[in-house]
Amino acid sequence: MNITLEQALKITEAAKQKAEALDTKMNIAIVDSGANLISFIRMDQAWLGSTDIAIKKAKTARYFDMNTGAIGELSQPGKPLYNIEHSNNGLITFPGGVPIKNDTGEIIGAIGVSGSTVENDHAVAEAGALTL
Amino acid sequence: MNITLEQALKITEAAKQKAEALDTKMNIAIVDSGANLISFIRMDQAWLGSTDIAIKKAKTARYFDMNTGAIGELSQPGKPLYNIEHSNNGLITFPGGVPIKNDTGEIIGAIGVSGSTVENDHAVAEAGALTL
Amino acid sequence: MNITLEQALKITEAAKQKAEALDTKMNIAIVDSGANLISFIRMDQAWLGSTDIAIKKAKTARYFDMNTGAIGELSQPGKPLYNIEHSNNGLITFPGGVPIKNDTGEIIGAIGVSGSTVENDHAVAEAGALTL
Amino acid sequence: MNITLEQALKITEAAKQKAEALDTKMNIAIVDSGANLISFIRMDQAWLGSTDIAIKKAKTARYFDMNTGAIGELSQPGKPLYNIEHSNNGLITFPGGVPIKNDTGEIIGAIGVSGSTVENDHAVAEAGALTL
- C-alpha C40: how far from its chain's center? 11
Question: Measured between alpha carbons, how far is B24 from B117 in angstroms, rounded to an integer?
Answer: 9
Mean pLDDT for D64-80 is 97
Residue B65 is classified by DSSP as: T
Q: By CA distance, what is D51's nearest residue in C? A: C37
Q: What is the pLDDT of residue C96?
A: 98
Q: By CA distance, what is A86's nearest residue in C? A: C86
Q: What is the pLDDT of residue C82?
A: 97
How much is the CA Rg of chain A, to the nearest whole Å?
13
Average pLDDT of chain D to the nearest whole number:
98
Mean pLDDT for D11-24 is 98
With touching defined as 3+ CB pairs under 8 A, do chains D and B touch?
Answer: yes
Contacts of A20-26 with C-beta under 8 Å, sequence gap 24+, read A22/A116, A22/A120, A22/A123, A22/A124, A24/A115, A24/A116, A24/A120, A24/A124, A25/A115, A25/A116, A26/A50, A26/A54, A26/A113, A26/A114, A26/A115, A26/A116, A26/A121, A26/A124
With touching defined as 3+ CB pairs under 8 A, do chains D and A touch?
Answer: no
- C88/A49 touch (CB, cutoff 8 Å), yes or no: yes
Q: Is the pLDDT of residue B1 over 90?
A: no
pLDDT digits (tens, 9 = 90+) for C3-21: 999 999 999 999 999 999 9
Helix axis angle, B5-21 relative to B118-129, nearest 10°?
Answer: 140
What are the sequence ranges of the domains in chain B? 5-129
pLDDT digits (tens, 9 = 90+) for A25-81: 999 999 999 999 999 999 999 999 999 999 999 999 999 999 999 999 999 999 999
- C48/D39 touch (CB, cutoff 8 Å), yes or no: no
How many C-beta atoms lie closer than 10 Å to residue A65's C-beta? 10
Q: What is the pLDDT of residue A59?
A: 98
Q: By CA distance, what is C61's nearest residue in A? A: A49
Question: Measured between alpha carbons, how far is B92 from B119 in angstroms, rounded to an integer?
Answer: 15
Q: What is the pLDDT of residue A97?
A: 98
Q: By CA distance, what is D120's nearest residue in B? A: B80
- B42/A34 touch (CB, cutoff 8 Å), yes or no: no
- Closest residue by Cα to residue B30 from B2, B46, B9: B9
Mean pLDDT for D105-126 is 98
State the nearest Cα–Cα gap between C63 and chain A, in angstroms: 4
Contacts of C33 in chain B (CB under 8 A): 34
Q: Nearest CB to B86: which of D49, D91, D117?
A: D91
pLDDT digits (tens, 9 = 90+) for A26-35: 999 999 999 9
Mean pLDDT for D70-74 is 97
Q: Is the pLDDT of residue D66 over 90?
A: yes
- A41/B4 touch (CB, cutoff 8 Å), yes or no: no
Q: Is the pLDDT of residue B48 over 90?
A: yes
pLDDT digits (tens, 9 = 90+) for B3-15: 999 999 999 999 9
- C5/D39 touch (CB, cutoff 8 Å), yes or no: no
Full DSSP string of chain C: ----HHHHHHHHHHHHHHHHHTT---EEEEEETTS-EEEEEE-TT--TTHHHHHHHHHHHHHHHTS-HHHHHHHSSTTSTTTTGGGSTT----SS-EEEEE-TTS-EEEEEEEESS-HHHHHHHHHHHHTT-
Q: What percent of chain A has pLDDT over 90?
A: 98
How many C-beta atoms lie closer than 10 Å to residue D21's C-beta? 11
Mean pLDDT for B112-130 is 98
Q: Is the pLDDT of residue A13 over 90?
A: yes
Q: Nearest CB to B37: which of A4, A43, A51?
A: A51
Mean pLDDT for C23-45 is 98
Q: Is the pLDDT of residue B80 over 90?
A: yes
pLDDT band at A126 (very low <50, low <70, confident <90, very high): very high
User: What φ, ψ does residue C87 adopt, rounded to 5°?
Assistant: -90, 165
Residue B123 is classified by DSSP as: H
Average pLDDT of chain C to the nearest whole number:
98
Q: What is the pLDDT of residue C1?
A: 86
State the nearest Cα–Cα gap between C107 and chain B, in angstroms: 14
Average pLDDT of chain B to the nearest whole number:
98
Residue B97: strand, helix, or coil? strand
State the nearest Cα–Cα gap between B72 and chain D, in angstroms: 15
Mean pLDDT for D16-33 is 98
User: With respect to CATH, is domain D5-129 assigned 3.30.450.150?
Assistant: yes
pLDDT digits (tens, 9 = 90+) for C78-132: 999 999 999 999 999 999 999 999 999 999 999 999 999 999 999 999 999 999 8
Q: By CA distance, what is B39's nearest residue in A? A: A41
State the nearest Cα–Cα gap between A101 and chain B, in angstroms: 18
Full DSSP string of chain A: ----HHHHHHHHHHHHHHHHHTT---EEEEEETTS-EEEEEE-TT--TTHHHHHHHHHHHHHHHTS-HHHHHHHSSTTSTTTTGGGSTT----SS-EEEEE-TTS-EEEEEEEESS-HHHHHHHHHHHHTT-
